[in-house]
Chains A and B, each alone.
Chain A
Amino acid sequence: MVQTSETVPGSLRVSGLCKSYGGRPALEDVSFSIHPGEVLGLIGPNGAGKTTLFECLGGVMPADAGVLLRDGHVMGARERQALLFYMPDAIAPWPAQSLGWALDFTLRFFAGRAELRDEVVRSLALGPLLSAPIGTLSKGERKRALLAIGLLTPQPILLVDEPFDGLDLRQSRELAATLRSHAVRGRTLVLSIHQIAEAARLCDRFVLLNSGRVCAEGTLADLEAQAAAPHAAGDLEEVFLALT
């Protein structure tokens, strides 16, 4: 039986994150909070800086400035690695190895959540693909494989870049239910999503990112209030357009 008591001990705050590529700013003074056990949606159009933000938070790309605060104190690299895991989009790790091996490797290498293996395989419909090399999977299959790897990692906070990219409508809905079930059990999920409708269905709170800047942060109700647009009530897409 899966433990249900997992929670992040304290809130996290990303503060003043900046990153530029050859003088062109990709992130400018990005700050927002991550609450324990929530599903936080990072919403923004293509080129908004979502992936760059995740890469910096995941520690796979250096930020020019900014810190990650936990209960007010600055986190070091080791502490961050113990707390966050970032699953990039559009990668095909260990392409010659089978998916089943990759999941087992994740459990052994990261000391992952072995008790979740069968459930994750079942919920993401990966059973028939376990013996297939990762390099031979289709885009949607690979996306589900990457999500499975991410869900098996031990860190309490999981950052996933574009979890719905490459999935059809049915798969997207099933994935949303799977992610929600993990969040219910205390896993904090930060999802970068450009399909706003999907984000509206799944996320508890949102961070709106546009041109490398945070435009707004909060629940849908908070964002509606900030947008102050009567026609946007209950519609995240309209709220997003009004705020960006």
Chain B
Amino acid sequence: MPSPRSSFAALLDKEWRELVSSRAWWTMLLLTGPLVGVCFIRAVETYAELSGLGGSAAGVGEAFSPLVGIWAPTFSAYELVAAFLLPFVVIRVVGGDRQSGALKLEQQQGALSPWARITAKTAVLVAGWLIASLPAAAAMALWLSYGGHVHGPEIAAVALGHVLNAGLTIALAAAMASVAEHPATAAISTLAFTVGTWVLSFAAAVHGGLWERLAGYTPPVMVATFQHGLVRGDIVLAAATLTAAGLAAAAVWMRTGVAVRQRALESLAVVGAASVVLFASSLVRASWDLSRSRYNSFTRADEDALRGIRSPLRLEVHLAPQDPRRYDLERHALSKLRRTLPRLRIEYVSATQVGLFEQTSRDYGEIFYDLGGRRAASRATSAEGVLETIYELAGVTPPAASDEDVYRGEPLASPPNGAALVFYAAWPALASGAAYLSLRRQT
């Protein structure tokens, strides 16, 4: 019987060779540079303009953060790569074995479980994804060379979001490649799933409620959260659970020698177990704001004051899902409030989706507060307005504003010198050359 360790090492080597001999991976690598370049160059130009370059009023960009101004748009290129390029790489690595007949040989090796086989593939795919992340590292080096500052924790948060997103894509595409007989079927199924998450996000924006909760765990919303420097425990756990479930399904369906009915039952068990863990994950409230600007948090003084409030707080918000005030309220006040007050309950009430014809309704636009039986109503949707109402209800003196807590921004009026050369010439040349050397021996 072969030793599992040496077999696994051989398998890792084989998967790596399969990755670097796949045109799909080289194509992804080649396109990632220009995609990241477009996003980075545009972001730096905009950032520079807002920071006063080219005659803009100086000071406009004073509170501008590189996290939101540079890294969120730069890394958004990886959302495109994960949605439209990475699935083909995964399907090539996972489904290629079935197409070539290698799966029939490899699954006769009894020492390694299907789990070990899918783990080897995932490890290699993650390594491939990390190599594709080099253009982002080049963007950071360029930014530093312009005199910009890179705040490690917030970059780590953004990168974590994209790694989790890639993990989800890898798991989904691996499951589809294992289930489907043909790579084309796997590809169309994966893309259909991706489009489905967009539809869910759209439905959430229109209908709110449960749709909104579900959409909170879709890749676009998840990535957006991390791009703002916020690491939410529930999202990390949910993404890890979905990734594990997808990989488990892939491992289950890799075993072509097991009856389809048996595999279907095992898949249902995986779905059931994942659902339980997902539900438990949704109860996790821990989160960490890693942004330098405290983009997702109230000031420290406000947080201390809010933590001193022990009574449960209930908010009834009469705003329709598509009312821009609801977005403002959620983004600037309630999302921060959720992170600070553990005993907070928020209910949205509206009869329509747009709210346009609800304006005549007496309560529309009101936010009703109930703090341990003490009630108040307000129409203010700003963070300051919400906090003021809560402090009044709690009988707490608002903390004095402190200059230390105010993020002054990091304006940088520098054009993206040399970036075009790096992303549009050097990277494609490097990737093309490496691809040529790697693929030459196959022909």
Contact flag A109-B106 (CB < 8 Å), given A96-B21, A97-B21 = yes
Do B18 and A96 touch (CB < 8 A)? yes
Q: In chain A between 83 and 113, which residues have their CB closer than 8 angstroms to a CB of chain B?
A: 84-88, 90-98, 101, 105, 108-111
Contact flag A86-B104 (CB < 8 Å), given A96-B17, A109-B7, A133-B441 = yes
Do A97 and B100 touch (CB < 8 A)? no
Contact flag A108-B110 (CB < 8 Å), given A60-B257, A91-B101 = no
Q: Provide the bound-state CA to CA distance between A95 and B102, in Å.
A: 9
Do B11 and A59 touch (CB < 8 A)? no
Asked whether B256 is an interface residue with its Cβ less than 8 Å from the other chain, the reply is: yes
Do B442 and A82 touch (CB < 8 A)? no
CB contact between B107 and one of A59, A78, A84, A136 (< 8 Å): that residue:
A59
CB contact between A81 and one of B6, B17, B110, B256 (< 8 Å): that residue:
B110
Specify which chain B residues have a CB less than 8 angstroms from the CB of A95 in the assembled complex: 100
Contact with B along A48-88 (1 / 0, CB 8 A): 00000001001111100000000000000110011011111
Asked whether A190 is an interface residue with its Cβ less than 8 Å from the other chain, the reply is: no
Asked whether A135 is an interface residue with its Cβ less than 8 Å from the other chain, the reply is: yes
Contact flag A110-B109 (CB < 8 Å), given A60-B256, A60-B257, A62-B260 = yes
Do B102 and A93 touch (CB < 8 A)? yes
Asked whether A37 is an interface residue with its Cβ less than 8 Å from the other chain, the reply is: no
Contact with A along B83-112 (1 / 0, CB 8 A): 000000000000001001111111111100
Residue on A with the closest CB to B21? A96
Q: In chain A between 163 and 222, which residues have their CB closer than 8 angstroms to a CB of chain B?
A: none
CB contact between B108 and one of A85, A96, A108, A133 (< 8 Å): that residue:
A85
| Majority DSSP secondary structure for residues of A touching B | mixed
Specify which chain B residues have a CB less than 8 angstroms from the CB of A98 in the assembled complex: 441
Residue on B with the closest CB to A90? B101
Do B257 and A136 touch (CB < 8 A)? no
Q: Provide the bound-state CA to CA distance between A123 and B130, in Å.
A: 44
Specify which chain A residues have a CB less than 8 angstroms from the CB of B105 in the assembled complex: 87-88, 91, 93, 149
Which of A60, A78, A86, A136 has the largest number of chain B CB atoms within 10 A?
Answer: A60
Contact flag A108-B100 (CB < 8 Å), given A62-B258, A96-B442, A149-B105 = no
Asked whether A36 is an interface residue with its Cβ less than 8 Å from the other chain, the reply is: no
Q: In chain B between 193 and 209, which residues have their CB closer than 8 angstroms to a CB of chain A?
A: none
Specify which chain B residues have a CB less than 8 angstroms from the CB of A108 in the assembled complex: 6-7, 9-10
Residue on B with the closest CB to A134? B100
Smallest Cβ distance from B227 to chain A, in angstroms? 37
Q: How many residues of B contact A (CB 8 A)?
A: 35
Contact flag A58-B3 (CB < 8 Å), given A91-B100, A94-B102, A109-B14 = no
Do B108 and A60 touch (CB < 8 A)? yes
Smallest Cβ distance from B210 to chain A, in angstroms? 40
Contact with A along B9-42 (1 / 0, CB 8 A): 1110110011001100000000000000000000
Do A92 and B257 touch (CB < 8 A)? no
Asked whether A41 is an interface residue with its Cβ less than 8 Å from the other chain, the reply is: no
Q: In chain A between 14 and 60, which residues have their CB closer than 8 angstroms to a CB of chain B?
A: 55, 58-60
Specify which chain A residues have a CB less than 8 angstroms from the CB of B259 in the assembled complex: 62
Specify which chain B residues have a CB less than 8 angstroms from the CB of A60 in the assembled complex: 103-104, 107-108, 256-257
Contact flag A81-B109 (CB < 8 Å), given A93-B102, A154-B2 = yes
Q: Provide the bound-state CA to CA distance between A94 and B18, in Å.
A: 7
Q: Provide the bound-state CA to CA distance between A65 and B102, in Å.
A: 26
Specify which chain A residues have a CB less than 8 angstroms from the CB of B2 in the assembled complex: 109-111, 154
Smallest Cβ distance from B233 to chain A, in angstroms? 39
Smallest Cβ distance from B29 to chain A, in angstroms? 16
Specify which chain A residues have a CB less than 8 angstroms from the CB of B256 in the assembled complex: 60-61
Q: Provide the bound-state CA to CA distance between A55 and B14, in Å.
A: 24
Asked whether B443 is an interface residue with its Cβ less than 8 Å from the other chain, the reply is: yes
Residue on B with the closest CB to A101? B17
Q: Provide the bound-state CA to CA distance between A84 and B260, in Å.
A: 23
Specify which chain B residues have a CB less than 8 angstroms from the CB of A136 in the assembled complex: 442-443
Contact flag A92-B101 (CB < 8 Å), given A81-B110, A85-B108 = yes
With A91-B104, A94-B100 already in contact, 19 other A-B pairs whose C-beta atoms are closer than 8 Å: A58-B108, A58-B257, A59-B107, A59-B257, A60-B257, A77-B257, A91-B100, A91-B102, A92-B101, A93-B102, A94-B18, A97-B18, A105-B13, A108-B6, A109-B11, A109-B14, A110-B7, A133-B441, A133-B442
| A/B interface sample: 22 pairs, CB < 8 A | A58-B104, A61-B256, A62-B257, A77-B257, A81-B109, A82-B110, A86-B104, A87-B105, A88-B101, A88-B104, A91-B100, A91-B101, A94-B17, A105-B13, A109-B2, A109-B11, A109-B106, A110-B7, A111-B1, A111-B2, A149-B105, A154-B2
Nearest 7 CB-CB pairs, A to B?
Answer: A91-B101, A111-B2, A81-B110, A96-B21, A93-B102, A108-B10, A59-B257
Question: Which chain B residues have a beta carbon within 8 Å of chain A's beta carbons?
Answer: 1-3, 6-7, 9-11, 13-14, 17-18, 21-22, 97, 100-110, 256-260, 262, 441-443
